[in-house]
Amino acid sequence: MMSLTSAGADCLTNHVFLSVLFFFCLAAPSPVSSVKKGKITKNSISLSWQEPDRPNGIILEYEIKYFEKDQETSYTIIKSKETTITADGLKPGSAYVFQIRARTAAGYGGFSRRFEFETSPVSVAASSDQSQIPIIVVSVTVGVILLAVVIGFLLSGRRCGYSKAKQDPEEEKMHFHNGHIKLPGVRTYIDPHTYEDPNQAVHEFAKEIEASCITIERVIGAGEFGEVCSGRLKLQGKREFPVAIKTLKVGYTEKQRRDFLGEASIMGQFDHPNIIHLEGVVTKSKPVMIVTEYMENGSLDTFLKKNDGQFTVIQLVGMLRGIASGMKYLSDMGYVHRDLAARNILINSNLVCKVSDFGLSRVLEDDPEAAYTTRGGKIPIRWTAPEAIAFRKFTSASDVWSYGIVMWEVMSYGERPYWEMTNQDVIKAVEEGYRLPSPMDCPAALYQLMLDCWQKDRNSRPKFDEIVSMLDKLIRNPSSLKTLVNASSRVSNLLVEHSPLGSSAYRSVGEWLEAIKMGRYTEIFMENGYSSMDAVAQVTLEDLRRLGVTLVGHQKKIMNSLQEMKVQLVNGMVPL
Ligand code: ACK
């Protein structure tokens, strides 16, 4: 990894380079600002709108996204070359939210703000216009007769479908998309690999940003393909706001460019408060960049380690709820993450957690060695479900397993799952039915949920929507979080058999306590009969409190060190 100072200098150079390199590139159209409702029936809403104030080119088409209010995860997209559409097949008496964006040769502009309109209730047949009531009466009568005819048709086995001929010929409902069948109202993820030309996928799902709109401020880390920087984005007609910028290092191969931008093609398909939001990409100038929203607190694992013990259980459960909600959205879209871990969750200044890292290059290769090395170093054995390790069965159910590990990471403030056990030992222990013990001071309901996520039979694991509902219930009823995993059962769970620590790396209690910087308690331990490592193995949290170890940080250090030693000695995780 390059040093921060040289990386910082590189970033500054990039910035100067980018500023100098300001050509008058094409800008995407500004958002549609005015949308009017037209005819409304019980099943359809017609809309019209005005061209964006700054089209910045010829508008090729509009994309209209709509969904039933509060049902955002299931939406429909219609494309239209006109400035009017009719959304049909809607539920009567229901509110629908519409957003429109325009596309020019420069790509899509931003979506308009949300416009909400309601279909007519069932009792109103054709229009919301009161003057048409007499017509409605006649229509209802005729309708009843027609209905009987239609039912006759249906009963005779004919399918009476949605009539496409009624649609504006210029208007194309996204039932089919790049060869993928799309059900109306159900958004599915499209694998960018299925595009013959990956550049097409990028431009389909990501907005092109002019390099001159970006100001790079500093390097915040190293990504797989180059530096990650923080900076600011100033889009036309919008206030400047902070962003994260992933850059593609110079001298990249075509494959690296494809893989790098592949992440943007995936991220650009998602729109959810718990999924990192893609602002756009820079592909028309160098360096190639991916611009996303900025998350002030960075990666969740580092953030939790830095703030050990600082949050209430409700705050931690709130973080977990966010992650589960993002994962529910991804699984509804048919996207399997495969690398869900606290290091791949970002957290902002409001403690909102968002799922990130949508790299393409994480498929396990045939080479058995590839199971242990990936772009970031190791394949995430400790986070991965046994069936995904054993026979590459990656599904939303294997993501649920990983989610259980993330729960454990969060509740133990960024502790490394299975501590220093080797990957091979982890695989073996998990196969034999051992599971991680409860983190310290963990509500029993949460630990039970973790164990449910770690069911060997993947069909028995909860689904993400069930996890979200369960966490919501716990948040609504905080007293349900008061029952903690019993400290002594936590320790005895850990000990599959009586596991003396006499054979541990430490020759004496004093040496051990010194090694974990808790030497100040040596005397108290000795005076209270904990004079050998075997005796120490029996210490519980209550014992520590009784001995006067009252600082939570010290209790954690001692208990975690004990756990670690026992796990190393006996793979002492909880047998299911
Ligand atoms: O823990 P961090 O500060 O958070 O260090 C890593 C680093 O970049 C390499 O991935 C940080 N990072 C990545 N994406 C973002 C983002 N969208 N907002 C803020 N920090 C980010 C991450």
Give residue limits of the domains in the chain: 35-118, 133-181, 192-293, 300-485, 509-575
* For residues 237-256, average pLDDT: 95
For the question of residue 366 being annotated catalytic, the response is: no
Per-residue tokens: 376: 């970031």
Question: Which range among 169-173, 350-354, 387-391, 491-495 has the greatest average pLDDT?
Answer: 350-354
Band (573; pLDDT cuts 50, 70, 90): low
Per-residue tokens: 107: 């790509």
Q: With CA atoms as reference, report the closest residue to 423 among 496, 368, 372.
A: 372
One-letter amino acid at 222 equals A
Per-residue tokens: 442: 């963990």
The dihedrals phi and psi of 125, each to the nearest 5 degrees, come to -80, -50
Q: Would you state the pLDDT for residue 291? A: 98
Round to whole Å and give the CA distance between 4 and 219. 7
- 456, burial (CB in 10 Å: exposed 0-12, middle 13-18, buried 19+): middle
Round to whole Å and give the CA distance between 558 and 497. 21
Which residue out of 339, 357, 399, 441 is catalytically annotated? 339
For ligand 1, the distance from its centroid to the CA atom of residue 228, given in whole angstroms, is 7
Average pLDDT of the chain to the nearest whole number: 80
Residues near 513 by Cβ (< 8 Å), separated by ≥ 6? 519, 520, 521, 522, 525, 558
Task: Give the DSSP H/E element, type plus range, for residue 274.
Answer: none
Round to whole Å and give the CA distance between 193 and 393. 19
Q: Would you state the pLDDT for residue 129? A: 41
For ligand 1, the distance from its centroid to the CA atom of residue 275, given in whole angstroms, is 14
Question: What is the signed CA dihedral for 498, 385, 272, 66, rounded to 10 degrees?
Answer: -140
CA angle 393, 198, 265 (to 5 degrees): 65
Tens-place pLDDT, residues 438-493? 999 999 999 999 999 999 999 999 999 999 999 999 999 999 999 998 765 554 44
Cα dihedral sign, 513-518-523-526: negative
Round to whole Å and give the CA distance between 120 and 124. 6
Any idea which fold 35-118 has?
Immunoglobulin-like (2.60.40)
Any idea which fold 509-575 has?
DNA polymerase; domain 1 (1.10.150)
Cα dihedral sign, 527-528-529-531: negative
The dihedrals phi and psi of 377, each to the nearest 5 degrees, come to 130, -90
- Residue carrying structure tokens 């509110």: 95
Round to whole Å and give the CA distance between 89 and 364. 43
8-state DSSP, 438? P
Closest atom of ligand 1 to CA, residue 303: 1
Question: Which range among 68-77, 117-126, 188-197, 389-398 has the greatest average pLDDT?
Answer: 389-398
Ligand 1: which residues within 6 Å by Cβ?
Answer: 220-221, 223, 228, 244, 276, 292, 294-295, 298-299, 302, 346
- Residue that wins the pLDDT comparison between 329 and 173: 329
Per-residue tokens: 140: 């209802």
* For residues 366-379, average pLDDT: 40
Among 83-97, 111-125, 301-315, 336-350, the least confident range: 111-125
Cβ(419)–Cβ(563) under 8 Å? yes
Closest atom of ligand 1 to CA, residue 343: 1
How many Å from the N-terminal Cα to the C-terminal Cα in the chain?
A: 41
What CA–CA distances, in Å, run from 287 to 14, 183, 211, 375?
8, 38, 9, 21
* For residues 492-520, average pLDDT: 68
For ligand 1, the distance from its centroid to the CA atom of residue 443, given in whole angstroms, is 30
Q: Which residue, by CA, sits nearest to atom 11 of ligand 1?
A: 298
Closest atom of ligand 1 to CA, residue 298: 4
pLDDT > 90 fraction of the chain, expressed in percent and rounded: 47
- Residue that wins the pLDDT comparison between 378 and 504: 504
Any idea which fold 192-293 has?
Phosphorylase Kinase; domain 1 (3.30.200)
Band (216; pLDDT cuts 50, 70, 90): very high
Q: In what order do the strands lie in the sheet with 278-282?
A: 214-222, 227-233, 241-247, 289-293, 278-282
CATH superfamily to which 300-485 belongs: Transferase(Phosphotransferase) domain 1 (1.10.510.10)
The binding site for ATP comprises: 246
Query: Is 300-485 in the same CATH topology as 192-293?
Result: no
Task: Give the DSSP H/E element, type plus range, for residue 62.
Answer: strand 61-68
Q: Would you state the pLDDT for residue 377? A: 36
Tens-place pLDDT, residues 131-157? 444 444 445 555 555 665 555 444 443
